[in-house]
Structure 1
Amino acid sequence: MKQLISLLALTAMITGCSDRPRTESLVGDWPVASDATLAGESITLQFRKYGDGDLSRTLSYTLAPDGQMTVERGADHHVCCFGGVDGHFIDSRKVYSLPQGRAMQLRRMFGRLRPEKLTADLPFVLPKGCTYIFDGGAVAGVNFDKGSAGGSFIFQSGCDGDGARQVQHMLRAMQTLLPPVENSLAYLPPAT
């Protein structure tokens, strides 16, 4: 019970108690995109758990502009030695209709992880204070898709510091707004 109260307090602190969007980006020195901009994008939150062998377990949540959220569990098959993925396998897929207010609250949280501009070059961003780790695996990410333009947020294992901790706290707070998935907390990046 104490954990639930702490999580709700953290959610209120991170998302704000009003309907006002947060304007603080966790990835750059630019304002968060407007509600109208975020509402027109398909946004996918992905988690990856690496294990022994060639497969990593995946969990993703895709929020469509119409408020539909698709939740997928699956696995990625990794190419030896190069870090690439040559196959994605889906174990389960469920579609949920989110209430409009909850969908907008999630979009605003996702927006704090969005590149400043979405382009055909698909730019990516990292938490403030983190640098790209060439041999580091991505344990969480957010993809923003607007047709021919897109961009991504990447959270790698080995990323730490204040920016990483703020992102980790926000990802934990998001869990209270996402459709329930068994063992979903096990996919969150470990706290640094």
Structure 2
Amino acid sequence: MVKKYFIAIVSVLFLSFSASCSHFTPKAVETPSFRKWVSSGDIPKIIAILPFTNAAGLEDLGQLVRESFYKHFSVRDFFDVEIKEIDGIIRMLEEAEGRDFHDISPKKLGEFLRCDALVYGRVIRLKRIFFLIYTQMLLEAEIRIVEANSGKELWTHTLIKRFHEGGVPVSPFGIIPTAIR
């Protein structure tokens, strides 16, 4: 009887630890509307990914999501304006205009950045759940692609992405890094 319970407990623990060791590497999400937009003949040639606003409250999160989005776009059939170049031009424009780049028309931004489309992004929230050796994060962001010349919205999507991570410490010293990962 005791042996039966022992085997059941060991089995449950083994399955729990095995599941927590799995690692999920997220792929970039391509919604049907994005695929349709990309496959249409009207896609712009040069895209500028503007700084993302961050409503989630975590420092530098907007920049991290922006860089991730930039990497996703750089492997596509677009020419992209380098992030450092965009940031420098935006800083100059904001000083000259005396206002935030969000208040500057897409046409003017497009002229200065020499691009056909602008990508606006906003990180809405980041939620983290920790449970001993398992971590789950939920990231929600809103992405808009606007034609620079006309200001017409080409594509918009609210993206919700989950990331899972966990691990089993293999030594007593590995407990802390595994738990705080």
TM class by smaller structure: under 0.3
**Higher alpha-carbon Rg:** 2
TM-score (norm 2): 0.28
TM-score by length of structure 1 reads 0.27
Higher helix share: 2
